[in-house]
Structure 1
């Protein structure tokens, strides 16, 4: 009986790995945000405009990329591949909870982790594409993160709630993922 479960587990593990082969690097954020081609999808309307905010509260495993930040790269890469012009994509990420540490420079990050912050290069690449990052000031205070600890260009907000409310007033929708 035990061997049946092992065989069953191996089968689905191999099947999962085979499906990962469908994903490839995008052309905008080349080292992050892998995408897959989607056959038979409904075409995007011409001139589609995306003003989207993302929310992240869960910190990455120390020394690893935060999956939620990588999702922003995937959003950019897949819409670029679908023909959406860069100027039609306006993205923001609101960061709170333990993930505020993922927004810090290596010196500050190492105070709480035994690794460099693997997110720095990705955040900087996303900023070059116009993505705005807002750190919840309330979470930052709780975790001892100061403005000078933040990666250059990352903004300190009064709170995550405030940042989301202001982004919504600017026409941003909240991505539920």
Structure 2
């Protein structure tokens, strides 16, 4: 029961916006504008030679003015592991996007036309993630459904035949899927 309560508390903290998080949460060392984490005393050691290849999956669009939760989680994953001593070059991360989350990957004009003129808060986060070698991949089937062309995507975002294809190819490259 204690483990369940701890997991529930952690899940609630992860879902809480940055502004409402306890003082223990901060950004960095890689991403300083998002990807907040807390230092944690652990009993599960991370081996000095640990290698991570993790794919995140999302179909949930961010609220207007907010960063997509999964993009934030990808930054959190990198921040927390680098802070814990894992060399940045030992961490590979990909984000596979489908469903309504696809809008979060589009250029300003496309996004604004579908969000009453709003600015996409994800653009800067995507630029930072891409600059740190995070792959961001859009499901082509979703793109076709929402009439998103290659020219509608933010620079650096890749288009796969499908999210299923992207995950299968990433798995062949040694990526595991993060369940969060």
> Could you state the TM-score of these two structures normalised by the residue count of structure 1?
0.88
- What's 1:150 paired with? 153
Secondary structure (helix, strand or coil) at the match of 2:114 reads: coil
- What's 1:167 paired with? 170
Kindly report structure 1 stretches of 4+ aligned residues shifted beyond 3 Å: 16-19
Distance, in Å, in 2 between the alignment partners of 1:80 and 1:38 is: 13
Identify which of 118, 121, 129 aligns with 1:118: 121
Distance, in Å, in 1 between the alignment partners of 2:30 and 2:156 is: 20
Q: Deviations over 1:58-102 (max 9, x none)?
A: 001122111111000100100010011111000101000000110
Root-mean-square deviation (CA, aligned residues, Å) is 1.5
Aligned length in residues: 162
- What's 2:10 paired with? none
Gaps of 5+ in 2: 1-15
Matched, 1:128 2:157: no
Distance, in Å, in 1 between the alignment partners of 2:152 and 2:21 is: 39
Matched, 1:103 2:75: no
Secondary structure (helix, strand or coil) at the match of 1:79 reads: helix
Superposition pairs of residues 47-58 of structure 1, within 5 angstroms: 47-58=49-60
Secondary structure (helix, strand or coil) at the match of 1:84 reads: coil
Secondary structure (helix, strand or coil) at the match of 1:92 reads: strand
- What's 2:9 paired with? none
> Measured at CA, do residues 40 and 173 of structure 1 come closer, stay the same or move farther in structure 2, by a change above 3 Å?
closer
Distance, in Å, in 2 between the alignment partners of 1:112 and 1:18 is: 29
Q: Deviations over 1:96-127 (max 9, x none)?
A: 00001100111110111021110001011011
> Measured at CA, do residues 139 and 25 of structure 1 come closer, stay the same or move farther in structure 2, by a change above 3 Å?
same
- What's 2:85 paired with? 83
**Higher CA-based Rg:** 1
Gaps of 5+ in 1: 1-15
